[in-house]
Amino acid sequence: MNILHYWRAMWGIIGRELRRFITQRERFISALVRPLIWLFVFAAGFRSALGIAISPPYETYILYEVYITPGLIGMIQLFNGMQSSLSMVYDREMGSMRILMVCPLPRWFLLLSKLLAGTAVSILQVYVFLGIAWLYEIRAPSWQGYVWVLPALMLSGMMLGALGLLLSSFIKQLENFAGVMNFVIFPMFFMSTALYPLWKIKESSALLYKLAHYNPFSQAVELIRFALYEQFNQPAFIYVLVAFIVFMIAAIIGYNPSKGMMTGKGGA
């Protein structure tokens, strides 16, 4: 096996995931409906409550818009990470996972390629969302912010995707995945800085403040938020990177038939 085999396998997996995403238009629409509802309905309500016009000047940023837009970006990546993991469970039940895992390439490389494919899909969704937000006059301070945010999206998407991979290694049946998704997604989202700044959470509850502070999703949102303003949040970067490494190692172990949770599941 040489590097060409690795390259072709990786792009084969990424291309398959992108083609699946493009052909499944319902998946694309559903991924955007939830954050767009938050963006349009709730933003309009906050603006009205604050006495700000529906179309504020470019330099006007209310608290809601500054904090909610990165949070909604994180929401897109969080749900996409779980959705990609759902496809892993489906592939395992249908038997296609067995074909993927028995190829001569290392298992960790196959899982990483699958993770990169899911991250690429989530980044595509995020930029479509940012384009719609731009039309709604909710924009980054400058166009460079949309470039700065790309590395942050890659790292946060891989971290959340690795968490989804880890969860999928524990799930035996497709029917059980919805409950697990809700058990993970909603606590991670609401106990984070996606909707409110950390200092505001601290004013209401010390326990909630600690949970939000150590929540990997909060750090991912902060990494994205700073990147949109062309700033590098080093603590958030280190936290998200370490979380990705931990989740990925655990997922690789979980998909190892001899060591992990895949023994007796019949699909890998």
- Sorted by where each begins, the domain ranges of the chain are 3-254
- The three-class DSSP label of residue 51 is coil
User: Per residue in 2-52, pLDDT tens?
Assistant: 787 777 778 887 887 777 777 766 666 776 777 777 777 666 555 554 444
Confidence at residue 123, expressed as pLDDT on a 0 to 100 scale = 92
User: Per residue in 196-210, pLDDT tens?
Assistant: 778 778 888 888 889
Average pLDDT over residues 115-123: 89
- The three-class DSSP label of residue 106 is coil
Burial 113-137 (b: 16+ CB within 10 A, else e): bbbbbbbbbbbbbbeebbeebeebe
User: Per residue in 50-100, pLDDT tens?
Assistant: 444 444 433 334 444 555 678 888 888 988 888 777 777 766 666 666 666
Rounded to whole angstroms, what are the CA distances from 115 to 10, 88, 157, 175, 253? Answer: 10, 10, 9, 22, 15
Is the pLDDT confidence value at 145 over 90?
no
